[in-house]
A and B are shown apart, each in its own frame.
Chain A
Amino acid sequence: MVEDSPSDVLIAQEALGSSKLINELHVVEDGVEAMSFLRRQGRYASSPRPDLVLLDLNLPRKSGREVLAEIKTDPDLKIIPVVILTSSKEESDVLKAYGLHANAYVTKPVGFGSFVEMVGSISHFWFSVVTLPTH
């Protein structure tokens, strides 16, 4: 998960914590860390390849849009499903994300309960319905 809001991270951890579908949730807080993690650079040398990336758009240092573009043009990384999870519902953001081959775009709802439900839905769909690419 690439997310700079500590409260949203907490909510996601809460929502996924009791889920048996997810082994590990790794969180980084900006786009630069996200790419280092994915490329297993420096302190991320032994990081696992994620099965799914939850990516906020508005991030410090490197935007979610740039991260998405880098992932989806990288031959090794492009098969990793990326779900944009952001508060923006601007048409231009949605269009741009799908144009850069985001697998799905999800707008964060207002309200704790709804957000928990939404994370649960994402987790259910991607980890018990979808056939994920194996690496």
Chain B
Amino acid sequence: MVEDSPSDVLITKEAMEQAKLVNNLHVVEDGVEAMAFLRKEPKYAAAPRPDLVLLDWNLPRKSGKEVLAEIKADEFLKRIPVVILTSSKADVDVLKAYGLHANCYLTKPIGFLGFVDMVSSISHFWFHVVTLPPV
């Protein structure tokens, strides 16, 4: 998860627990760290390849748009599903994201319960319905 809002990180962890999800959630807080994590640069040398990336659109240092573009242009990273999870519902952001091959775009609802539902739905679809790319 690439997310700079500590409260959203907390909520996501809480939501995953409530949805009884057994996943290892790795969190980085900006786009530069995101790429370092994915590329297993020294600080993240032991990081696993994620099965799914939850990517906020508005991030410090390097935007979600840039992170998405880099992931999807990278021969080794492009198959990793990237779910944009952001508060923006601006058409321009949605269109840009899908144009850069985001796997899907989700607008964060207001309210904890709505967000728990959304996290459950994301997890159900991506971890129980979808066939993920083999690592």
Contact = CB atoms under 8 A, between A and B. Distances in A.
- Note whether A and B form a binding pair: yes
Interface of A: 72, 78-79, 81, 89, 91, 94-95, 98-99, 101, 103-107, 118, 121-122, 124-126, 129-134
A101 B89 CA distance: 22
Nearest to B75: A99
Contacts of A98: 78-79, 81, 133
Interface stretch (B10-18, B25-33, B117-125): B117-125
Interface of B: 72, 78-79, 81, 89, 91, 94-95, 98-99, 101, 103-107, 118, 121-122, 124-126, 128-134
Nearest to A109: B129
Nearest to B88: A131
A121 B124 contact: yes
B131 A99 contact: no
A94 B131 contact: yes
Contacts of B107: 131
Nearest to B122: A129
A99 to B, nearest CB: 6
Query: Quick one: which of B91, B98, B122, B126 has the most chain A CB within 10 A?
Result: B98
